[in-house]
Amino acid sequence: MTFGDPIWLWALLLLPVLAFFLARAEQRGAEKLQLFVAARLLPQLAGTVNRARRIFRFVLLLLVLALVLVSLARPRWGYAYDEVKRKGLDLLLAVDVSRSMLSNDVQPNRLERVKLATQDLINELQGDRVGLIAFAGRAFLQAPLTIDYSAAVDSINELDTKIIPEGGTNISEAIALATRTFGKAATGNRALIIFTDGEELSGDAVKTAKAASEAGVRIFAIGVGTPGGSLIPIQSENGGTAFVKDAKGEVVKSKLDETRLRELAQTAEGFYLHLENGPRTMKQLFSDGLGKMKVADINARLSRKPIERYEWPLAAAIFLFALALLINDRQRARTGGTGAVPSPKQNQGRHGGRPSSAIAAAILLLIVRQSGAASAGLELYEQQKFPEAYEHFQKTLEENPGTRQSDRIQFDAGAAAYKMKDYNKALQSFSQALLSKNPHLQSESHYNLGNTLYQRGEAEKSDEKKLTNWEGALQHYEETLKAEPQNKNAKDNYEYVKKKIEELKKKQDEKPSPTPTPSPSPSPQEDQKDDQKKDDKDQQQKDQQQQQNDDGSGQGQKSEDGQQSPSPTPSPSPSPSPGESPSPSPGDDQSPSPTPSPSEGEQSGASPTPSEEGTPSPTPGEGEQNGGENGEQPTPTPAGTPEKPLTGDVKGAGEEKPSEQQQAEAAEAEPEKEGEMSPKQAALLLQAMKDEEQKVQLDEHKPVRPVYNDW
């Protein structure tokens, strides 16, 4: 919902002020009446005024005033759309956004000058539809035909040289797009105004202009720039200023091609204008060209119009005002005679009593009845018949829902429920008693709520529920002390519950945390197995690193004695003490990412060692493979034992490595176990797969057509 004149709504702030002054005047009138009239005569002189009706009529008049102010604000809700026939032209503005439009032979540059000129042209239009086309190497419809000139101006202001992804200048495609946008029907009211420097780098604009003329489209060309031209400034990579260069590396100088533009316009029954002064050029275009074109009927949807809804609050105000006039705040007195003020003798008649007396008697009887019911409940409470007392209090509340004694009865019902140890019902009743306007009763209700919450928390088994109830009890004791700071019972209970909460929290903090079960200490033999596996893994990583270094430098040297020295086995980690969790091995923590563990044969063949670049090394014996399992460390061969000669020759850094065919033959010659692969075979398989990956041809994105001149 909106408002046509929302300023009237500010007057609503005066209504509370007006209500205050009227209520104050009513109060002062009553006080003055008491000063001049004796108290015994007031019922006779002012008894005919019905204050409830008077207040009700006063409220109605305030609502009437408020509704009148809302009606003056003209509330609007919903919109109406009208579609009417209008006569006018259909104009498409084609703006060149290629990089040549950044030339500054006209200030500030060609593109900014065109933006100002198109806005000057739109200011001359009256009821004509206008659209926008941006073109460079391609053409795009930026704004369809519309009479919403503000939207068209917004689209023009958003133009820049980056909105078209393909560079160059293709005037032909802009003309073709305009022809498709207009449609096939030739009504004679269609025109295309092209703003460009005329440097057509692709396409045949003259040929396309002939086709557009046959479709009933007139073309007007507006040349931007100077025949002398200028360089095209752009931002360099380092943030400075550079200039556009062609494919040969020569700086491009963009010039205005008036001859081409003049030929283009004449082909489509238009003319050419040079943009010198924006407003003057656009007025000339409108007076000599567009103004002489015949107009045609166009369907245009008008802007939505809000629907006025002021009749609704005005009608409500009239109804309430009539109702206020019908309400009389004077009540008639039933009398046996005709006097305005009845005499005491007339009031004693069987039918001469006033209705107010009967109402007063009924109210008094109701109060006495409720007091009697409450007294009966208190008697049951004193007799310690708490369930019967609670039921009696609840029955009294059900029979008299609007009684003024409901807060007292709720308090008594809460006390009975407390004695029953039904703390939930007690909380409900004491919470209702908090609504009382009596400050002392509110304070007592807070105190009893604190006691109830403490007792309910004491009955809870969960420490969290105990803590929640006791903290609530503290809050109610605090409220009691705020209202009655001298209440000693509330103060003592507050300190007691606070101490209980501290003890409970301390007890929770001192709870022992569960001790983790110590893992069984591994035997020395298992430690040595784990250490041997870690040694094998470390040795494998070292071999891989050494292989990478050898592959990069082309050196395949061996150790001095021609054998690989066994790596020392680290001492097994100590067993964890009781109460401590065994620490993970360093190898597990330092692993960069979890990978599946290879089998024993694959682990030794994951990456060949430098000695494996030649012929394959002999497979270790059974005793060497299982040495780690028996807790013995591998030791080098004694000097007295004759060394087993290695197959192959040791080659220097400059010597040629064995060919892949030799490696393959050597791998095939190695003894194989059933279901397993030798280390050399695994290495060759990985190398072959690596070569296949290197041979994959990557697809490269190729442009659909090359752009040689992207300015």
- How high does pLDDT run on average in the chain? 72
In three-state secondary structure terms, 581 is coil
pLDDT of residue 295: 81
Q: Taking each helix axis from N to C terminus, what angle separates 406-419 and 439-459, rounded to the nearest 10 degrees?
A: 20
All domains in the chain, ordered by first residue? 2-80+320-326 (no CATH), 83-301 (3.40.50.410), 366-506 (1.25.40.10)
pLDDT of residue 218: 93
CB neighbour burial string for 334-345, b if at least 16 within 10 angstroms, e if fewer: ebeeeeeebeee
pLDDT of residue 668: 52
Given a cut of 50, the residues of the chain with pLDDT beneath it are: 333-370, 515-529, 551-657, 693-704
Sign of CA dihedral 393, 399, 405, 407: positive
pLDDT of residue 172: 92
Q: How far apart are CA 53 and CA 59, in angstroms?
A: 10
The owner of tokens 């009529």 is: 57
Give the predicted TM-score (pTM) of the model.
Answer: 0.37
Q: How far apart are CA 342 and CA 360, in angstroms?
A: 18
Which residues have CB under 8 Å from 225's CB, separation 6+?
103, 105, 106, 110, 197, 254, 255, 256
The owner of tokens 């040595």 is: 528
Omega prior to 108 cis, within 30 of 0: yes
Q: How far apart are CA 668 and CA 224, in angstroms?
A: 79
Q: How far apart are CA 676 and CA 156, in angstroms?
A: 74
Q: How far apart are CA 380 and CA 376, in angstroms?
A: 6
Contacts 24+ apart (CB under 8 A), 631-635: 631/524, 631/525, 631/528, 633/566, 633/568, 633/569, 634/566, 634/569, 635/566
Which residues have CB under 8 Å from 269's CB, separation 6+?
213, 218, 219
Strands (E), 136-271: 139-146, 190-196, 217-223, 230-231, 233-235, 241-243, 253-254
Q: How far apart are CA 601 and CA 150, in angstroms?
A: 78
pLDDT of residue 232: 84
Closest CA to 34 of 25, 20, 51, 46: 46
Helices (H) and strands (E) in the chain, counts: 24, 15
